[in-house]
Structure 1
Amino acid sequence: MLDVYRYRWLAQVFVKISGTLAGNEVTFEDTSIYLQFQNYELVPRTSYHCAGNLKLVMASSQSRRKSFPSISFKMKKDVLKLFFDPSYTWLLGLLLCNVEIFINLFVINKVKYTEVDWLAYMQEVGGFLNGTCDYMQLKGDTGPLVYPAGFVYIYSLLYYATNNGQNIRLAQYIFFIFYLINHLLVVRIYHKTKLCPPYVLLFLTCTSYRVHSLFVLRLFNDPIAMLILYIAINLFIDRQWYLGSLVYSIAVSVKMNILLFAPGLLLLYLVGNGIKKTIINLSICASLQVVFAIPFLRINPLGYVIRSFDLGRQFFHQWTVNWRFLSEDLFADRRFHFVLLFSHITILFLFAAFKWKRSFSDLCDVINVKKMWGKGQADISSNQIVLILFTSNFIGICFSRSLHYQFYIWYYHTLPYLLWSTPYQAPVRLLLFGVIELCWNTFPSTNLSSSSLHLCHTLLLLGLWKRKEVVRAQKIE
């Protein structure tokens, strides 16, 4: 004799799970179990009460044969949804997070760590921790400190956490945690926008050898800056503009490349918030930079500005990924740099005027004080926020004076979203993604890899141009 009251919950859970997997509706009434299938109905032969024995009602062999094809078809349908239905992006992202755990642990323990900039980072922040606040005096083996104050504070924490930077393995595990957080932040962006099929996350996981390397083998500051940026973008998606501006400014203080998102963000501020709130958001961004820089501004303000926001910094031709086919003289020519800057500004303006807005006059309306002072021009959807920010950054990358291998993280996780924002078919999108990945994994870069990278960037930029304007007056998603 079995006490049904004692085991009733187990029977209910078993039937509920079985029914759900089979695509059936399962209900309970007292201690009787009713199974109602989608295609036919099984009427319970007996009601089993507490005083009786626990019995399992088995369907006839014919009914079982009819249920198996239904279960198989339903499971196949669910598997297809997992990879192709954007509403399943979060689920697949969580599953891949477990895969990422094993991949990163394998890389940390089986692939040899290669010293690039970690020691120099520790030397730079070590000087600060020893009392030096003159930015012109902070330097490491690879040269002077060229990052803003946020970098100094974050790597100071890492300095203490890793025994003055000597415990490299612990630093790798910390960056492993950073990688997982970054993965979940990116997954949330893709889940919120629901533009791309979930299977693109497989490519982000399986083809990202260099990205894994940047996090857990090189310990660069670029991944930290992008991680913080993705926090800010998630806040913007949630319409937490003030908090998002604060976090965005923190990302800028880690590395200046985050400013590539600024033109698109400024337009979003104006369109979604109006001029008054835009001024508040910009004030938040600027104030944080000043607060972070106070210890250094007190000693040598000019030195801090020159070193931390050095727009004229010269790059070495031997490390370039995108301009290998140019001669060293042309690569270093200031006139070439001016042409790139002019092209960058021009393309940004064209996208802002004719793609992100309907026309130049429509773009001018966003700075009309009478119309736009107190409120925004339109409610902005999650897709509009993400597309404008990602495109703004991508345009800057297309016209960068040089791209080094660690810069791949600047736009790697945005590539699927940008590709699926074009009118190209899926095979073409995947081909472009694959060629870009191949170019970034060619070391050292060659004339062919650099040329191919520019070709892919050009095709992607043209595809984004063919897309209709994205900022319209519509309800928030």
Structure 2
Amino acid sequence: MAPPRGSGGRVKKPSRPFFAGFIQGINSYKDLKKLFVDPEYASLAAGVLLALELVINVIVINKVRYTEIDWIAYMQEVEGVKNGTYDYAQLKGDTGPLVYPGGFVWIYLLLYTITSQGKNVLLAQYIFCALYLINLALVFRILVRTRKLPPYLYALLSLTSYRIHSIFVLRLFNDPVAVLFLYAAINMFLDEYWSLGSLMFSIAVSIKMNILLYSPVLLIAYIAILGYKHTVVQLMICGLFQLLVAVPFLMENPVNYIIGAFNLGRVFMFKWTVNFRFVPEEIFVSKYFHISLLALHILILACTAPYAYRFLKAYAKIRNLDIPHSAQLLVLPLFLCNFVGVMCARSLHYQFYVWYYHTLPYLAWCTEYSTVVRLLILGIIEMCWNTYPSTVYSSAGLHCCHLVLFYGVVSTLVKNCNTSLLTFKQK
């Protein structure tokens, strides 16, 4: 198997005129309808929506009140590093101790400097506006490559969620920064820049650990597509970057850094949970509840791993060929792996919505449900995430939608593994 291509080794595919053929052939309502329903014209929708989103985000920043939640705490945490404190146990803010890896520290220390020690919140909001647009462009690029979603769904994805806009430009959380690098990594993988993609993935993990939800299938992808030798190389890239961003903290107190930045047993506050409001608080905080969810997560991954491997092996055979829809063989296993992690999460807070929001339409369209049912699932999920505070009904509804969506996607996964993966396309 050929090694992963470097920045100079990519073979460019001949470009085809975009939209020219459509303009020449437009002569009826049926042709015009293609602009909204034919995935081949999704690029046009993506471009228009990005321009529209710039205007919308500027309006939101100037017309909707900014709400302080974690920004000041972030600034307090990185200010300690600026002042020479590298012991993670000593780095704290108003909301508690620093609980994110080293990459978070350096990125937010940069923001601390640019925004006058975090005091220029308006500038920070415009920076996050830029991050929102970059993130959306990266997501659109992935979805366009799959040629699966109709253009009108791109509009629903970008325009209809107040919660996602809020997470970016009204809250300034670190979650969207992490997922931005994750989507950059997936774009690099699709473009055959695997080493650069691994670096982007490791940067994302260094900002927030939730990105590790993708890691089981990413490891399978390395093995299935690159082989064991190059898998070792990719793992070294990921690991070395984690060491690089952690050097001063590891030198000061490695135990405190590992415990603080990678604490898998951290207990979240019950009052903020979106997904388990229907569970009594004493069960919610129980370690047995945590272990049970972790065991369920591992079991589901183990059961779906063989199917993911077959998808990825098929992708390995055709990834350098200009075959429509081939990107789906890589994208679906990755998105499903993350979705399983979210579905089995001990607690979801409102900002965690961005962990999987942009993958939901694609997953819904990977089911064989009718369009009405797909849209209903997405609508109920959106409603559940916008119910504040969460209720027994909203959290139960969220789990129901997760289960229905999971069943639909896995059914498609199994069915296509039992037929021809090269014809994998939802009609």
Scaled by the length of structure 1, the TM-score of the pair is 0.80
Hey, what does 1:202 align to over in structure 2?
155
1:388 equivalent to 2:333? Answer: yes
Q: What is the aligned length?
A: 396
> Which one of 267, 289, 294 corresponds to residue 242 of structure 2?
289
| Pairwise CA distance, 1:21 | 9.2
Letter paired with 2:84: G
Equivalent runs, 1:179-194 vs 2, <5 Å: 179-194=132-147
Q: Which has the higher contact order (CA 8 A, sep 6+)?
A: 2
Structure 1 residues 78 and 109, CA, compared in 2 at 3 Å: closer, same or farther?
farther
1:175 equivalent to 2:120? Answer: no
Hey, what does 2:295 align to over in structure 1?
342
Hey, what does 1:65 align to over in structure 2?
none
Letter paired with 1:446: T
Instruction: For residue 263 of structure 2, give the secondary structure of its aligned residue in structure 1.
Output: coil
The whole-number CA distance in structure 1 between the counterparts of 2:283 and 2:96 is 24
The whole-number CA distance in structure 1 between the counterparts of 2:318 and 2:78 is 43
Q: 1:378, 1:474 within 8 Å by CA — same for their partners in 2?
A: no
| Pairwise CA distance, 1:210 | 0.3
* 1:368-416 Cα shifts (integer Å, max 9, x gaps): xxxxxxxx97445411111011000000001000000000000000000
Please list every run of at least 4 consecutive aligned residues from structure 1 whose deviation after the TM superposition is greater than 3 angstroms.
19-24, 76-79, 376-381, 468-475
Q: 1:124, 1:139 within 8 Å by CA — same for their partners in 2?
A: yes
The whole-number CA distance in structure 2 between the counterparts of 1:130 and 1:414 is 40
* 1:108-156 Cα shifts (integer Å, max 9, x gaps): 0110001000000000001101111111110100000000000001001
Hey, what does 2:77 align to over in structure 1?
124
1:416 equivalent to 2:361? Answer: yes
Letter paired with 1:394: F
The whole-number CA distance in structure 1 between the counterparts of 2:256 and 2:220 is 31
1:397 equivalent to 2:338? Answer: no
| Pairwise CA distance, 1:78 | 4.5
| Pairwise CA distance, 1:79 | 3.2
> Which one of 386, 405, 412 corresponds to residue 460 of structure 1?
405
For structure 2, the residue ranges without an aligned partner over 5 or more in a row are: 1-19, 320-325
Letter paired with 1:406: Q
Q: 2:220, 2:309 within 8 Å by CA — same for their partners in 1?
A: no
The whole-number CA distance in structure 2 between the counterparts of 1:379 and 1:301 is 44
Instruction: For residue 308 of structure 2, give the secondary structure of its aligned residue in structure 1.
Output: coil
Q: 2:221, 2:309 within 8 Å by CA — same for their partners in 1?
A: no
Hey, what does 2:103 align to over in structure 1?
150
Hey, what does 2:54 align to over in structure 1?
101
For structure 1, the residue ranges without an aligned partner over 5 or more in a row are: 1-18, 25-70, 367-375
The whole-number CA distance in structure 1 between the counterparts of 2:249 and 2:337 is 31
* 1:147-184 Cα shifts (integer Å, max 9, x gaps): 00000010011001100000000000000000111111
| Pairwise CA distance, 1:468 | 3.5
Letter paired with 1:356: A
The whole-number CA distance in structure 2 between the counterparts of 1:323 and 1:309 is 23
Instruction: For residue 118 of structure 2, give the secondary structure of its aligned residue in structure 1.
Output: coil
Instruction: For residue 274 of structure 2, give the secondary structure of its aligned residue in structure 1.
Output: coil
Letter paired with 1:215: F
Q: 1:117, 1:142 within 8 Å by CA — same for their partners in 2?
A: yes
Q: 2:88, 2:256 within 8 Å by CA — same for their partners in 1?
A: yes
- The structure whose residues are more often helix, as a share, is 2
Hey, what does 1:425 align to over in structure 2?
370
The whole-number CA distance in structure 1 between the counterparts of 2:130 and 2:23 is 38
Hey, what does 2:44 align to over in structure 1?
91
Cα RMSD over matched residues?
2.3
Q: 1:272, 1:379 within 8 Å by CA — same for their partners in 2?
A: no
The whole-number CA distance in structure 2 between the counterparts of 1:160 and 1:391 is 38
1:448 equivalent to 2:393? Answer: yes
Equivalent runs, 1:269-308 vs 2, <5 Å: 269-308=222-261
Structure 1 residues 330 and 22, CA, compared in 2 at 3 Å: closer, same or farther?
closer
Q: 2:185, 2:198 within 8 Å by CA — same for their partners in 1?
A: yes
Letter paired with 2:369: Y
1:253 equivalent to 2:229? Answer: no
The whole-number CA distance in structure 2 between the counterparts of 1:188 and 1:246 is 19
Hey, what does 1:324 align to over in structure 2?
277
> Which one of 289, 308, 312 corresponds to residue 356 of structure 1?
308
Letter paired with 1:402: S
Letter paired with 2:203: I
The whole-number CA distance in structure 2 between the counterparts of 1:20 and 1:357 is 38
Scaled by the length of structure 2, the TM-score of the pair is 0.89
| Pairwise CA distance, 1:423 | 1.0
The whole-number CA distance in structure 1 between the counterparts of 2:123 and 2:167 is 16
